[in-house]
Structure 1
Amino acid sequence: MGLMLATFSLVAHAQNIPQLGQATIAEVVKAMTLEEKVHLLIGTGMDGIINDQPVIGETKNIVPGAAGTTYAIPRLGIPAVVLADGPAGVRISPKRENDTATYYCTHFPIATSLASTWNTELVQSVGQAIGNEALEYGVDILLAPALNIQRYPLCGRNFEYYSEDPVVSGNMATAYVKGVQNNGVGVSVKHFAANNQESNRTGNDARVSQRALREIYLKGFETVIKNAAPWTVMTSYNLLNGIYTSENGELLTDLLRQEWGFKGLVMSDWFGGKNAVRQMQAGNDMLQPGTEKQYNDIISAVKKGELDEKIIDRNVSNVLGMIVRTPHFKKYAYSNHPDLKSHADIARQAGQEGMVLLENRNNTLPLSQTSVHKIALLGSASYSLTPGGSGSGDVHSAYMVSLAEGLKNAGYEIDAETEQLYGKHIEELDEKYQDSLKQIKKLMFMSQPAPSEITMSQEILNRLSNETDIAILTVGRKSGEGKDCIPSDFNLSVDERQLIENTCRTFHAANKKVLVLLNVGNVIETASWKDLPDAILLAWECGQEMGNSIVDVLSGKVSPSGKLTMTFPVKLEDIPSTTNFPMGEHQIDNPTDDSSGFGKNWDYTDYEEDIYVGYRYFDTFKKDVSYPFGYGLSYTTFTYSSPRIVDNGRNYNVSINVTNIGDKAGKEIVQLYVSSPLNPAYEKPQRELKAFSKTRMLQPGETEAISMIIPHEALASFNQDISAWQTDKGIYSFLFGSSSRDIRLTKELRIGKQNTVPVGNILRPKTQISVFSK
């Protein structure tokens, strides 16, 4: 390939053919044939995908296992560039034919775990490490981060998303993007927009009010576009108010480019959208992974005069603008040897900080150094930890530290008989799964189900309560791309509940404690059983160093400092969107045209809860929750003091003092909520998160002054009756909280004049939505 490119370059130079990087992009576009332009606007195909349309292309697999490549045009100096999946790490093939080397990548914590750190500096360091691996493995664009809103706990892809709140999502994505792009590698923020369910994701119409779109589902994207300048944006599979997002000019041109000022490339999700011509017109510059039909349709439309070639030229210019920034264009000599050891250390720290301590009665944690040595490790998930979700968010890592390994690494002893019992059970399940794969055609992204629970006899529990010092019991769940969860994934199974009840009863009778670990990527039910164990640690799915990260927290090596970025409801039915989410009738996504006909929540989903997503609903309507948004315990205690607000003319500079009054070092997360004055023209939530900040590690007695910046426009609500952002006059309460329901201090601010900023009246629903209201 290198010799061929060099030869073409010499010939081109002799003929004065414009070369990308030497001539202007406009000159290169002018020199291209129509066929070359259209090839550049679609990908070169994707191996291993079963689809009803053949893929096309000549570009070789530069990086095996990458999601896609762009089309090379050597005569114009245009190389192919590589796109790879990667919210939790770069996803490429770890082994290659006729090659003894390995190409493993670091499996970092899932996005939900990263967000639970509330530490943007740490998330940026994770992005920096992932971007470095992309660079050194020859990847130009990382297809991440994903920042859709966690609208409902059963969305199968929630583990890839950050939060139910757009401020958390936008700030975390901004940090991630900055980290990756510091390496000279681009990202593709996704899935733009309102991709909040997997069921029929390629055919579902998300019907959302303009206000809910602006305030909830688009706000995080707006934040990252304006603050991190991502190279590319990926459109989602679904329709939005009747139009596929990749075919929606109001979304991609009017909003994204003209209103927000986005200057980069827009690409489709893989096989996303239906009409290639409308995608070109809307401003979806590149279609991935590329099909013969798309190529033919675009060529035909131009030749028939149905598609102006100026639109093709515009889109090609955006593609070339992305290519000239890439490592491949700059001929970066990638090493294939990133520093996986140092990146594993970052993954371990991120896993620690994302864990949320939900319960800790009688100082069960950290584990006593004098009285806890031998551990009864129970629950199938304890011996089969899940480091991340399946699908494009998965990572091929060299190893995963098990919980047993993590405990042993820290000097703890595990009951050997129990370990053997569970080991045999897991091995048998693995063999059955492998046998089942021989009987069926393996689907892309298909993953092994979570192991079933085994019945633990009272005799065994009695022995364990006598011979061990504490019981650690893990509840695990698996989820992944292409399929939503169902209510049974949210609730404990009969066997899981029985194991928790029997273990707690037996160990408590022996005056010993029980700890429950949650190895999950989604919210699960906790209200009915959380009073049984002595402690509950939400470990999430925190990557390849998971066993070590968990034990670092259990042992007290680090104090837990994670907090929830979503609400844990008492039960599913308490969530107002329950009646507007697929609940298991038709779970598998079907990309073909015959997937319609199931109606509500399959062909279309009405977002009737409107702006009342997560804590905005529960706090406004004063509904009981199991754990509120922003909640998380620590091994120490913090107090807040001296709140201050200074108006500098464009922003509000807000600060507060945080003091560690406990006897252990720890970090605290200050959450700044704002309650706005009421307006009879439209409703407002009781409070909304506007900023947050995490302290450094504070020693006992130490104080840190925390500062946050709130732009004036952040206090505005969207008035869809006049299509404008409106900041109402009146008294605003700035609420400094440790969670949305633990407000420590309040400072008031009076705004004497209403401010209205009109924006385009776009993205209106085409059918009436009966939105939820007070």
Structure 2
Amino acid sequence: MKYRRLIEKMTLEEKASLMSGKDFWQSMDIQRLGINSMFLSDGPHGIRKQAAAADHLGLNPSVPSTCFPTAATIANSWNEELGEKIGGFLGEEAVSLKVNVLLGPGINMKRNPLCGRNFEYFSEDPYLAGKMAVNYIKGIQSKGISACVKHFAVNNQEERRMAIDTIVDERTLREIYLTAFEMAVKEGGTKTIMSSYNMLNGIYTNENLHLMREILRDEWCYQGVVVTDWGGSNDRVAGLIAGNELEMPTTGEETNIDIINSIKNGKIKEELLDESVDRILDLIFTTEEVFKQSYHDFDIDKHHRMAQFASEESIVLLKNESNILPLKTGTKVAIIGDFAKNPRYQGAGSSVVNPTKLDNTLECLDESGIVSLGYAAGFKRYGKKSSKLIREACELAKGADVVLLYLGLDEATEAEGLERQDMKLPQNQIDLIEEISKVNSNIVAILSCGSVVEMPWIYKVKGLLHGYLGGQAGARAMLRIISGDVNPSGKLAETYPISYEDTPSFNNFPGKEVTVEYREGIYIGYRYYDTADIEVLFPFGYGLSYTKFEYSDMKVNQYGVTFKITNTGKISGKEIAQLYVGCKSKNIFRPQKELKGFIKIFINEGETKKVTIPFDDKTFRYFNVKTNKWEVEEADYEIMVGTSSRDIKLNDNIFIEGTGAPLPYDKHKIPSYFSGKVKNVSTDEFEALIIRRVPEAKWDRSKPLGYNDTVAQCQYAKGVVARFAFKLISFAYWFLRKIGKRKTANIIMMSIYHMPFRGISRMTGGVINMPMVDGILMMVNGRFFKGLNYFLKQRSKMLKEIKIKSARTVEKISTEAAKER
């Protein structure tokens, strides 16, 4: 151990104290030994260091910092260097705000388009997500602090996220849901990882020995710290055994006592605690070094310009009929849509950033050279219909050469803690498109949202630009694309299906009660659509440019692929070339193609550049469930280079020698997986894939409610008061939505409805302890007065202990002060 001598000076109580937070955002300190607190801050796309009351839902304002585009946006840039630059800027701001650990990036896979937190994640593809994350981590940690990749692992739904059990086979787990984390550890060298709320195959992730010990520690040789998601600890001792060092936020020392008692009664050895303390100390000491050096406030204007550049790199041109874009000089435009005046530029929840400045379209028009005839709101932001606003917008649109129509999803639709209800734009925006198209056919739609939407209205517009959530400078960046000052170069990091019903997880998302079954296996995103030959609106990797590129002269060898790209258009631009690999053997089921490399390259008009994309250790591997390790199948492989997963420009074959592993599957037992048509996998097939029985997916309503049951389950509780409370909560949610208070309604859903009872203790910082939760559960389970009496007794007992402890602390301080005198 690195800090053995220091650890030997600690009492058992001091060691245990380092295993949980001091407060909502800080780790514990031990001043007598020179051990300071660390500050951990949300920050996937900007630092959210709260100056006043702390919370985990983004309710209270934070210190101003640069709001960069979200991960979903930056992934569309396919620019690894950009990821590292953004990481560096984030790290610089973290240092200026004395933040030791930046809680990001988020690298969970986009299994389903309706996940409410998709805006915070990179991609449906683990390789793209992994490469972007690696560079974020390198940039952040280059400034001396720590990145914290999250949420480890298979946290792909927000509803019931603190209680849901994810049922997934081992191969899918490894190839799809752990690959980006593996890259973050091995290539990025992340110093911190955040465990997820959910269970994995019946065991909470932060207690899961297979995930935390066998894979993370033993296989990947991870030496850093694992921190729980806020309130995400179930059994603290089980978490410690699995290698989860830090529990956040504070529990008022309640779980420290659990650790101490477990050591005293021999359940765990003190050496195990010492290992965790050693890793915590290393994180504290290595990250606080930068604060001892001279540091300065960050340059607000410089960081704002970086946010603008990042947005420009990430905007995707999806449609450009009759080359309506870029706008010609002197074009008279009507600016329509609430998002033009009040930009939708980031997500909602724990990642909300208080921007240092904020561009909006109307204020940036003059410098863009665009001739505006005026602005009309066109629709109400949160979906309420208004024929008056539509009429005003149509009147303005009549006199315009081109209509710039700003559309998107509002902040209450895409939010942490809940899922989207559908994949549609609000109906009032669709109505607006319909009416404007009757008076002016030259419509350019500009989308602002962090995830996939259906577009049955797309034939009504000639141009379509998707800015995703472009950060505080996204409005100016979009105008530079529209005016032609910047040539669009973004490409989609996720597939756009025609309708939600087309998605492979349609029948298995979200898990509503006990479990969520990943019956589609490895076939998520383009892996499914391309293999099952499902028509899509826009394929993975798709994006247009104002110029054209031609591919030629492909050569493949054992080290990689080389080819040439020529810019045949009239302006310079950037192209994203994508390498896909498909195994031609049918002995092991595989997607038709998988992304295995990419490059973004700038090419002048008329110029030809030679491009090389190397193979790496992930190019030909698959996870074999019989040998329980990565193997290579001996076979011919098709090497494909294209501009999207559906637009392959060059291809060739190469023979690869295998590792000689036994075949892992019986084709006859899992035919759906060999065909790729996995939307309706039977229970028998899924059980053959996971090699065990599918667990019960429904709540057992005959059992009393316990720690890991949720407030929502009070609907069938034995206690009358509990059932009444459930109806009251449900009514409050319905009523608030009815009167337009959707954000407040969402808070009820996030922080109450889906909260497990243990979370009442874990998220209140010791105000309510677990014995008091026992009293609450007695009331819920039909013993109201006994439970109320028990709750009050435990509260009284806790307050007395706090009073005694405070008195001892004061006495200790007085004694030490007297000694110094």
Question: Shared fold (TM-score greater than 0.5)?
Answer: yes
8 Å contact 1:724–1:758 — kept in the other structure? no
Give the aligned CA root-mean-square deviation in angstroms.
2.4
1:529–1:462: structure 2 CA closer, same or farther, 3 Å change rule? closer
Residue 662 (structure 1) aligned to one of 541, 548, 569: 569
Q: Which amino acid aligns with 1:711?
A: D
Partner of 2:216: 256
Partner of 1:608: 519
2:633 is aligned with 1:734 = no
Q: Which amino acid aligns with 1:692?
A: F
* Greater displacement, 337-346 / 713-722: 713-722
2:61 is aligned with 1:155 = no
2:490 is aligned with 1:545 = no
Partner of 1:32: 10
2:212 is aligned with 1:230 = no
Q: Greater share of helix residues, 1 or 2? A: 2
1:83-129 deviation digits (Å, cap 9, x = unpaired): 111001111136899xxxx9421000000100000000011101110
Structure 2's unaligned 5+ residue stretches are 55-61, 665-688, 697-821
User: Displacement, 1:226?
Assistant: 0.7
2:248 is aligned with 1:288 = yes
User: Displacement, 1:656?
Assistant: 1.7
Partner Cα distance (1:392, 1:231) in 2: 21
Partner of 1:503: 436
User: Displacement, 1:603?
Assistant: 2.1
User: Displacement, 1:756?
Assistant: 4.4
1:274-318 deviation digits (Å, cap 9, x = unpaired): 100000000001111120321221122222222221111111011
Partner Cα distance (1:307, 1:728) in 2: 43
1:570-581 alignment, distance < 5 Å: 570-581=498-509
Partner Cα distance (2:692, 2:259) in 1: 28
8 Å contact 1:245–1:273 — kept in the other structure? no
Secondary structure of the structure 2 residue equivalent to 1:464: helix
User: Displacement, 1:451?
Assistant: 6.0
Residue 694 (structure 1) aligned to one of 600, 604, 607: 600
1:369-390 deviation digits (Å, cap 9, x = unpaired): 13x1x32122223322211101
1:324-723 alignment, distance < 5 Å: 324-327=285-288, 331-335=292-296, 337-370=297-330, 372=331, 374-416=332-374, 418-419=375-376, 450=382, 452=384, 454-455=386-387, 460=392, 463-477=395-409, 478=411, 479-488=413-422, 490-508=423-441, 513-526=442-455, 528-582=456-510, 600-647=511-558, 652-680=559-587, 682-696=588-602, 698-723=603-628
1:94–1:285: structure 2 CA closer, same or farther, 3 Å change rule? closer
1:333–1:270: structure 2 CA closer, same or farther, 3 Å change rule? farther
Partner of 2:46: 89
User: Displacement, 1:470?
Assistant: 1.4
Q: Which amino acid aligns with 2:505?
A: S
8 Å contact 2:336–2:393 — kept in the other structure? no
1:769–1:739: structure 2 CA closer, same or farther, 3 Å change rule? farther
Partner Cα distance (2:119, 2:49) in 1: 20
1:498-521 deviation digits (Å, cap 9, x = unpaired): 21111112113xxxx111111001
User: Displacement, 1:750?
Assistant: 1.0
Q: Which amino acid aligns with 1:690?
A: K
Partner Cα distance (1:211, 1:693) in 2: 28
Partner Cα distance (2:198, 2:467) in 1: 32
User: Displacement, 1:765?
Assistant: 7.5
Partner Cα distance (1:381, 1:74) in 2: 50
8 Å contact 2:414–2:450 — kept in the other structure? no
Residue 183 (structure 1) aligned to one of 137, 143, 153: 143
1:342–1:124: structure 2 CA closer, same or farther, 3 Å change rule? same
2:23 is aligned with 1:45 = yes
1:26-63 deviation digits (Å, cap 9, x = unpaired): 111111101110111111121xxxxxxxxxxxxxxxxx
1:518-548 deviation digits (Å, cap 9, x = unpaired): 100110001x111110101011111000110
User: Displacement, 1:678?
Assistant: 2.0
1:132–1:250: structure 2 CA closer, same or farther, 3 Å change rule? same
User: Displacement, 1:251?
Assistant: 0.8
* Greater displacement, 498-507 / 195-204: 498-507
1:306-321 alignment, distance < 5 Å: 306-321=267-282
User: Displacement, 1:753?
Assistant: 4.2
Length, aligned pairs only: 663
Identity of paired residues, percent?
A: 36
Secondary structure of the structure 2 residue equivalent to 1:668: strand
Partner of 1:432: none
Partner Cα distance (1:713, 1:96) in 2: 45
Q: Which amino acid aligns with 1:565?
A: A
Secondary structure of the structure 2 residue equivalent to 1:667: strand
Partner Cα distance (2:457, 2:388) in 1: 18
1:97-108 alignment, distance < 5 Å: 103-108=63-68
Secondary structure of the structure 2 residue equivalent to 1:324: helix
Structure 1's unaligned 5+ residue stretches are 1-22, 47-67, 427-448, 583-599
1:303–1:360: structure 2 CA closer, same or farther, 3 Å change rule? same
1:543–1:450: structure 2 CA closer, same or farther, 3 Å change rule? farther
Partner Cα distance (1:94, 1:450) in 2: 29
2:694 is aligned with 1:768 = yes
1:755–1:133: structure 2 CA closer, same or farther, 3 Å change rule? farther
Partner Cα distance (1:312, 1:525) in 2: 51
Partner Cα distance (1:467, 1:676) in 2: 56
Partner Cα distance (2:633, 2:2) in 1: 48
1:499–1:157: structure 2 CA closer, same or farther, 3 Å change rule? same
1:468-498 deviation digits (Å, cap 9, x = unpaired): 221111222134543333334x113332222
1:541-577 deviation digits (Å, cap 9, x = unpaired): 1100011011011010111100011110011111120
Secondary structure of the structure 2 residue equivalent to 1:184: coil
